[in-house]
């Protein structure tokens, strides 16, 4: 491909990304359906058992921040795991009933079961192929995966001690409906352990939604720089994973989806127009 052709291809991809972002903003139903289609495509066309995480990852930027010791088998997924560890923080999940909403390919739920030892770990996802993949490759005792809607959780009132939600809520049609469902299924004093990104101009609306749902924000941390660092450090691993797992027609789209350097979302993080937050929130006792 000539330089001119590459420039035209890049411009075309940029226009498609702009149109997609605009459509997601204008029509929540489109955002929800398109993300569901992407996750389902990945589960169908990239069913590798060693590809179990899909978040952007977390890397310490403060040299005094401790780096967790991981099992050798977890090292390839270090940055994705570090995001889960950051989100959970000092919250004790041992012996608790924990629900992850938006469990994707299941690596986060499976890791939390092993590392944090909850009494029960449930992963819920809107993509039926993703849930089927998780049920096939993650079979630990105390762990199960169910198909369901984040805005209509199929669980009883006050049935969980903690809800984990990592890099998933930006896909939902209604954040308000999701948060009200979280409050419903949490026990009094239970926690929502949350991490996701928003355009800077939408942050106030997100924080207001937490408050309106009856969730007290115990901590709020801008981890954008940690996300950017992880995207750079994990870039080679993610690209190799994409090329080895997905058909060629899907690789370019997955590079954008994974936030690799040069992608639209990576540029939004580095420019400061998009912010990645982690929050610990509590339901009233």
What does the H/E/C string look like for the chain?
A: CCHHHHHHHHHHHHHHHHHHHHHHHHCHHHHHHHHHHHHHHHHHHCCCCCCCCCCCCCCCCCCCCCCCCCCHHHHHHHHHHHHHHHHHCCCCCCCCEEEEECCCCCHHHHHHHHHHCCCEEEEEECCHHHHHHHHHHCCCCCEEEEECECCECCCCCCCEEEEEEECCHHHCCCHHHHHHHHHHHEEEEEEEEEEEEEEHHHHHHHHHHHHHHCEEEEEEEECHHHHHHHHHHCHHHHHHHHHHHCCHHHHHHHHHHCCCCCCHHHHHHHHCCEEEEEEEEEECC
Domains of the chain: 3-283 (3.40.50.150)
281 close to 194: Cβ distance less than 8 angstroms:
yes
Q: What are phi and psi of 235, to 5 degrees?
A: -60, -50
Q: What is the mean pLDDT of residues 138-164?
A: 96
Model confidence, pTM? 0.85
Residue given tokens 């669980």 in the structure block: 155
Task: State how far the Cα of 90 lies from the Cα of 195, in Å rounded to an integer.
Answer: 15
Pairing of strands 160-166, 215-222: unpaired
With 80 as the cut, is the pLDDT of residue 160 above it? yes
With 70 as the cut, is the pLDDT of residue 283 above it? yes
Predicted confidence band of residue 67 (pLDDT cuts 50, 70, 90): very high
Task: State how far the Cα of 172 lies from the Cα of 37, in Å rounded to an integer.
Answer: 13
Write the pLDDT tens digit of every residue in 135-150: 999 988 999 999 999 9
Q: Which of 145, 131, 144, 137 is nearest to 49 (CA)?
A: 137
Beta bridge partners of 97: 120
Write the pLDDT tens digit of every residue in 17-48: 445 444 445 545 545 555 556 656 555 555 55
């Amino acid at each position: 491909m000539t330089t001119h052709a590459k420039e035209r291809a890049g411009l075309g991809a940029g226009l498609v990304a702009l149109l997609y972002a605009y459509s997601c903003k204008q029509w929540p139903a489109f955002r929800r359906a398109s993300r569901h289609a992407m996750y389902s495509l990945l589960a169908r066309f990239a069913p590798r058992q060693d590809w179990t995480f899909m978040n952007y990852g977390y890397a310490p930027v403060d040299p005094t921040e401790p780096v967790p010791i991981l099992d050798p088998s977890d090292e390839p997924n270090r940055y994705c795991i570090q995001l889960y560890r950051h989100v959970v923080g000092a919250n004790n999940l041992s012996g608790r009933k924990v629900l992850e909403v938006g469990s994707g390919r299941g690596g986060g739920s499976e890791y939390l079961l092993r590392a944090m030892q909850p009494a029960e770990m449930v992963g819920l996802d809107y993509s039926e192929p993703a849930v089927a993949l998780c049920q096939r490759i993650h079979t630990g005792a105390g762990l199960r995966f169910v198909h369901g809607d984040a805005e209509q959780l199929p669980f009883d009132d006050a049935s969980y001690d903690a809800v984990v939600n990592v890099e998933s809520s930006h896909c939902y049609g209604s954040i308000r409906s999701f948060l009200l469902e979280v409050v419903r299924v949490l026990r009094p004093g239970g926690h929502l352990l949350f991490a996701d990104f928003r355009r800077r101009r939408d942050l106030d609306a997100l924080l207001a939604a937490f408050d309106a749902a009856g969730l007290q924000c115990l901590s709020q941390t801008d981890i954008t720089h940690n996300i950017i660092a992880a995207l750079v450090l994990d870039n080679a691993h993610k690209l190799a994973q994409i090329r080895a797992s997905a058909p060629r027609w899907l690789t370019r789209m997955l590079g954008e989806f994974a936030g690799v350097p040069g992608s639209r979302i990576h540029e939004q993080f580095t420019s400061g127009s998009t912010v990645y937050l982690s929050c610990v929130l509590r339901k009233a006792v």
